[in-house]
Each structure stands twice: as structure tokens, then as C-alpha cells.
Chains A and B, each alone.
Chain A
Amino acid sequence: MAVTTRPPSRARARTGRLGASLSTAVFAVPLVVIFGVFSWWPIVRAGVMSFQETNLITTTWVGLDNVRAVLADPLLPVAIRNTAWFALLALIFGYPIPLLAAVLMSEVRRRKGLYSALAYLPVVVPPVVAVLLWKFFFDPRPEGVFNEILGWVGLGPFPWLQSMTWAMPSLVLEATWAAAGGTVIIYLAALTSVPAELYDAAEVDGASIWRKVWHVTLPHLRGVLLITLILQVIGTAQVFVEPYLFTGGGPANATLTILLLIYRYAFGQSLGADYGQATALSLMLAIVLGVLSLVYFRLTRSWSTS
């Protein structure tokens, strides 16, 4: 394809090039300004602030004092334990169910769109609405929605959010309801990418339906399954809305998560604003998550298919 046949005069070429790079730069402005001010700079600042103490007027370097203060906080082990417990419960509730649902849904021959739409519907409900609605469902009185339903089969009544034992599972139940649909859609997409020849070949070898699922479908999903697992862990480690709105961290700090602790450091009224300490904790969380993902991918590299 001929782009230019006639060499333009040198002067015109220079102004042309200058004009071109100027108008190119204009297109860089929104991206550079918005990312610069609201993404890159805050990220850099997070690293700096972790070693500072600031009350918005004066800022002093305090070295590792923030990190020490965070590590000395008796609430930190509680928050870590609760967050890990939330993540574990979320995996138990929320990891196998979407997989099972997606494998079954991929066999649906009619109105498949209806199935996936139903599964995805809770995802679009605003989290605040979902939490406030479920808070009412978790009414501990015998005539509360869940207690009444469970009462039909002779169970309960359960104290739900008011008990130290049941509060966290209740939160996870709602969080799973709100998030499972997204995972189902990811699995459904992955399922359609299983090459048909693999199933055909398995059938030629006389494989039963179960063996096809076990030896063809699941191995092919391994890559996606590995990624959704770590993404779910990263997501649940940053859970905020559920504990904040359901219980405020209670009862007796039974649902205090790391993010709630960060929020309390920075914006909680009782403790006063400690931005340095909050940033130090969020950076520590990010580093732990980063190291965790690195180790995870290193360990599972030989395992994943694609």
C-alpha cells in the first residue's frame, strides 16, 4: 500500500511532525491526568505514607512505627483470623456450587439464557440493598424469614447475626448469593471452549458420561478453576460491605475483618484518624496477597493446562 509517493519539503515535514505529535499528546492528556492523579500518585503515596504520620497539617517521618503499631494491635490477629475464616467459608460455600451449576447448565438445551440470567440476577442487585434485605431475612425471632422457613422442617430458630458462631457463616451466605452468578458465567464461557473432538474421542473409547466429565471437562477447566480460586481469595480478603453493614464487626469483634480495621484506623471516630497506620496495614495486606498469588502460581504452574 502506497502511503506517500511525493516527499514533502523538509520544513513542512517538521511542522507536520510537530503538529502530529502535539495532537497525539492531546489524546494522552485524559489518561495521563486521570491515572496520574487518581491512580499512580496515590499508589506511590501509599508506599510513602506507610512510613509517615500525618494529621493533614504536618507530616513527620516515623520509619517503621506504623508497621510496629499495627503489629502490636491486639485486634490484628482477630481481624486476620476472621478474614481467613470468611475466605475459607466463602470457598467452601461458593467454590463448588457455581462449578456444579455451570456444568449442569451447559447441558441445558432449551432456554439456556433463562438459566444463566437467573443465576446472574443477584449480581446486579446493589450490595447495600442485598445486605439490608438479608439482614431482615436473618431476623433472629422465630417469625424471621429464614427461621420460619427452617421451622417448616423442624430446624431453628437460629440467632444468625447475633451469635458469635453464626454471624460469620451468615455473612458468607449472603456474599456467596451475591457473587456466585459471576463465577457461573465464567465457567459457562470456559465450558464452551472444550474442544468437541475430545468428547468425540472419549466416546470412541467407550467413556461413560461420568468419565467424560472427570477426564475431559474438569481437566479442561483446570486453568480457569485455578484463577477463580485465587481471585476469590483476593476478593474475600478485602471484604468490607458485609461486615460493615450487617454487624459493624460484632458481636464481640466476631466479624471484624482486616478492611474494617483499616477503615476504623483511618475513618473510625473512636480511634481518631490514623492515616499512616491504615495505609501501612493496607500495604501489608496487598503485599501478603501479592506474595500469596506468586507462590500459588509457582506451585500450580505445572498443574494448569492453559
Chain B
Amino acid sequence: MTTMLTRRTDTDSTPDAAPAPRRRRRDHLPAAASDERSVLSSADWRRPVVRRSMRLVHGVLLGLLLLAGVGPILLLAKFAITPTQDILRTPLAVFPNGIAWGNLAEAWNDVQVSRYFLNTVVVAAGSWVCQVLVATTGGYLLSVLRPRYATVLQWAVLSTLFVPAVVLLVPLYLTILHPPVGPSMLNTFWAVWLPAGASAFNVLLVQRFFDSLPREVFEAARMDGAGPFRLFWSVVLPMSKPILGVVSVFAVIASWKDFLWPLLVLPNPDLQPLSVRLPSLQGSTDMGVLMAALAISTVIPVVVFLAFQKLFLNGAGLGGAVKG
């Protein structure tokens, strides 16, 4: 039974991690109808004191969440179309001197936010390709093909999870300056794309998903003469759309949020993504235009989140918390 109280927590290991927007329609079932429940029983809910106080508590909670969760973002949206003088003098007044749509156009064209936006998209797209490639081939190797060296590889991948990111900062930077082969990758997108692929979290996530796929299907495909490539391309990949969705969404969001690494390896402003570029706009632009630029950088992640809410809220995002 799926009620509002039955939240799947094991999305990252089961094949049905796909967004299931219909499921929430059944939220109105009483809690007692399910074999999973929370602290309050339906008997508790029948007591007027409990019901009234819970309604009050939940009202207050909703108000606070709106204030804290949406408040700053709404304020940002308002600032983006408010004349600079009004932002500075009366930040909380609602458009005392009209709306300045010009902020957005000025940010997009004159401050070249359009270019940095495009850079952000390119950085995110390349990081996504690299992460998906490594995670799917690696997960397939470790879960399905399982050569003799799989155990060693798996431990080597797993152990990187225990190394804090700060340890890699300088040596990775020097690797970008002097790669084992080829010229310096400084000021090329490769410097952001390739390291993004070395995500142990992605590999383990995909591997655990592949582990949960029925072995009989692989055996049947092998009996029909499918080699490793065909098995990967025509059987495993089509079955792994849910987990690819999870990996993709988190790859895009993480790359959109990244700051320190692109700051280090893309010193050329023409290549920098939005998050690196925004701080340097601070001094040189109007407050209104800066706010418009901030708002433009926020749109994509918020839209992605709203579109794929289930992926974020079902616990698959634990990795984001782990990475810190």
C-alpha cells in the first residue's frame, strides 16, 4: 500500500526509481489503512486537541518553510526587476517606482550573462557525458561482466569515497597543468569535464542498480549470442533509464553549483561558467543588473528540481549530502 506515509527509501537500489508523479494522488488515504505509519495513530487523530494543535503546528511549519524556502528566492526574483535605487533604499517595498524589466536585458546582453550561461551549459553537458560514460561502463564491468580484477577495482573506487575532496585540490590542479599525456588542460573545458567523471558515488549507484537487474535476462541474451557490447547497449542500458535519470539530474545540478574547481582551472573569463563569473560582477555592475544575473543563474536548477522533485526527495540525493 502506498500512502503518504510510505516513502520509499531504497530508490537507489531498486529498478523502480523512476519518477512516479501519479503516486502522490493517493495521499489522502488515512494513515491507518497502511501497515506503515508515524507517531500519531488514527485514534490520536480523532482527538480534537491533537487534531487542532497539529493543524496549528503544521500551519506554522508551512509558514516558516515558505518564509525560509521561498522567501529569499522570491525576493531575488523581485530584485531582478526592481530599479537599483529602490533595491538599495527600500529593499522590502513592492515596486514603489515601477518595474525595471531592463535589468534582465542588460544583464543578458551588456554584462554578457548569455555567454557565461552558455559556458555553464557546456560545462554541465560535458560533465554529464563523462559521468554517465564512466558510471555506466564501470557499473557494467563491476556488476555484470565481473572479471577477476573486479574486486580490486571496486575497492579502489570505494576507497576514494573516504578521501576528503580537499586532499585532491592541489595535486589535481597540478595534474591539469601537467597531464600525463598531452598539453596543459588549463583554460580548456576538459579540465572540468574529465575530473567530474571520477565520481565513486555514481559508479556505486549504477553498479547497485545493475546488481538488482534479473540475471536471467543477461543469460538469455548471452545464449542468443549477444557479446558484451550488444548486451550493454541493447539490454542493460535500455533497462537502466531510471538510474540514468538519477545520475543525470544530479550531475547537471552539481556541475551548475560548482565554484572552486572551475575558478581554479578556467582563469580565462571568456570560458568561465556563471557561478565563477558572478562574484566578479559584484563590483562592476548595478545592484539591479547583478540581481538579474543571480536570478538568471537560479532558474535552471530550480526548474530541474521542480520537474524531477521525486528524484531529489526520495532519498537518492543522499550522495549530495555525503559529498558535502
A residues whose Cβ falls under 8 Å from a Cβ of B: 1, 3, 20-21, 23-32, 34-35, 37-43, 45-46, 49, 54, 56, 101, 103-130, 132-134, 136-137, 139, 143-145, 148-149, 177, 181-183, 185-186, 188-194, 196, 199-200, 203, 209, 212-213, 216-217, 228, 231, 234-235, 238, 240-241, 244-245, 259, 262-263, 266-267, 275, 278-279, 282-283, 285-286, 289-290
A contact face: mostly helix, strand, loop, or mixed: helix
Say yes or no for B269: interface residue by CB 8 A criterion.
no
B residues whose Cβ falls under 8 Å from a Cβ of A: 4-7, 9, 24, 27-28, 30-31, 34-41, 43-45, 50, 54, 57-58, 61-62, 65-66, 68-70, 72-73, 75-76, 79, 87-92, 130, 133-134, 137-138, 140-141, 145, 147, 149, 153, 156-157, 160, 162-175, 177-180, 194-195, 197-198, 200, 203, 216, 219, 222-223, 227-229, 232, 253, 256-257, 259-260, 264, 274-276, 278-279, 282, 287, 290-291, 294, 297-298, 301-302, 304-306, 309, 312-315, 317-318, 320-322, 324
Interchain CB contact (< 8 A) of A43 among B58, B167, B227: B167
Once bound together, how far apart are the Cα atoms of A40 and B5, in whole Å? Answer: 42
> Does B170 contact A245, Cβ atoms closer than 8 Å?
no
Given A109-B28, A181-B69, A203-B41, output 17 extra A-B contacts at Cβ < 8 Å: A31-B157, A104-B61, A107-B40, A113-B313, A115-B62, A120-B305, A124-B312, A128-B279, A133-B72, A133-B76, A185-B315, A192-B6, A192-B36, A209-B40, A212-B39, A245-B279, A282-B169
Residues of A within 8 A of B324 (CB): 231, 234-235, 238
> Does B166 contact A285, Cβ atoms closer than 8 Å?
yes
A163 to chain B, nearest CB (A): 21
> Does A143 contact B89, Cβ atoms closer than 8 Å?
yes
Given contacts A40-B160, A133-B76, whether A196 and B321 have CB atoms under 8 Å apart is: no
Given contacts A28-B147, A183-B321, whether A128 and B259 have CB atoms under 8 Å apart is: yes
Closest to A241 in B: B259
Once bound together, how far apart are the Cα atoms of A131 and B197, in whole Å? Answer: 27
> Does A213 contact B39, Cβ atoms closer than 8 Å?
yes
Closest to B68 in A: A177
Given contacts A30-B133, A124-B253, whether A118 and B70 have CB atoms under 8 Å apart is: yes
> Could you jot down 25 A-B contacts, CB within 8 Å?
A23-B227, A27-B140, A27-B141, A28-B138, A29-B137, A34-B197, A35-B157, A40-B156, A41-B175, A42-B175, A107-B58, A108-B58, A109-B30, A110-B4, A110-B27, A113-B309, A114-B62, A121-B302, A124-B302, A128-B297, A144-B91, A145-B92, A192-B5, A266-B170, A286-B163
Residues of B within 8 A of A203 (CB): 41, 43
Closest to A278 in B: B170
Residues of A within 8 A of B315 (CB): 185-186, 189
Given contacts A38-B197, A101-B61, whether A190 and B301 have CB atoms under 8 Å apart is: no
